[in-house]
Amino acid sequence: MKNVFSFLFFLFSTSIFALEHAPHQGGIAVIELGKFSYKPKLFYKSKEAKVLKKEGKYLGVIGIGVDEKVGERHLVAVTQHQKKDYYFTIQKKVYPKEFITLTTNKHVTPVKKDLSRHYKEKRKAKNLIASFNKSLETNLDFVAPLTGRISSPYGQKRYYNKKPRSPHKGIDIAAPKGTPIRAAESGHVSICEPFFFNGNTIYLDHGEGVITMYCHMQDFAVKTGDFVNKGDLIGYVGSTGRSTGPHLHFSLILNQQSVDPALFIQEYYIAKP
């Protein structure tokens, strides 16, 4: 994508860090649930949500979509013998605009055949995102999937060939074609196939509604059904799908909402000129 920022992401040693309560559009709400006799179930918008145990305390971690409405929200934690109510307020956040020029309109105004394909792929991804896999559990301690400059940050309002499209629900990390891409966390390879807009795409399921997505890859190093550990090779940087140059689009999904991955990956800094 177009070079806009001069940020670098680096693969770093795994260490649990403090999740920050950032209840704005595109952020996360981190709610201290207090003490329970055992791990409670947390419900947000009538759907089960992520619960994390840290330092003997249970935390509820709620993903907030970039286009969610501001205002107060309610969630409930329950066990067999306890029930507690919690509240938080979604705050507004303004993101900048980004104008992208594509050489053709193939991925701007798709023909009927391509649009039909896109809807089929979208349904498949939506079914995965709506799942809540209890066989896996992550402590939300992610590593960067590769080293590279952030060419497009999360949340930008995008215009392709001057036509408005959905906000950017991930980060673009620019790197040379063929650069290895690593799993940001251990998980199952739930989808590994070419998509119309996203190009060669992988979805990793990390359990309890936590999913990462890797797009525009040149080649895959895994297949659907594989289990990968954090840091394992999963593919290589490319420019497939709707792309203007080699990069990785990386998204982090929490309770069906794509949130800013930078909230979960600590080490990035401004590059020297």
Q: What is the mean pLDDT of each run of 10 residues along the chain (273 residues)?
A: 36 49 95 88 95 89 95 94 93 85 78 92 95 93 90 84 79 95 97 96 97 98 98 97 93 96 66 27
How confident is the model at residue 89, as a pLDDT? Answer: 97
Q: Structure pTM?
A: 0.87
How confident is the model at residue 5, as a pLDDT? Answer: 34
How confident is the model at residue 6, as a pLDDT? Answer: 33
**What does DSSP assign to residue 226?**
-
How confident is the model at residue 7, as a pLDDT? Answer: 35
What sign does the CA torsion over 99, 102, 107, 110 have? Answer: positive
Question: In the structure encoding, which two tokens stand for residue 136, read together?
Answer: 């896996």
Q: Are 264 and 142 in contact (CB under 8 A)?
A: yes
How confident is the model at residue 14, as a pLDDT? Answer: 34
What sign does the CA torsion over 129, 225, 196, 11 have? Answer: positive
CA dihedral 230, 137, 33, 53 (to 10 degrees): -60
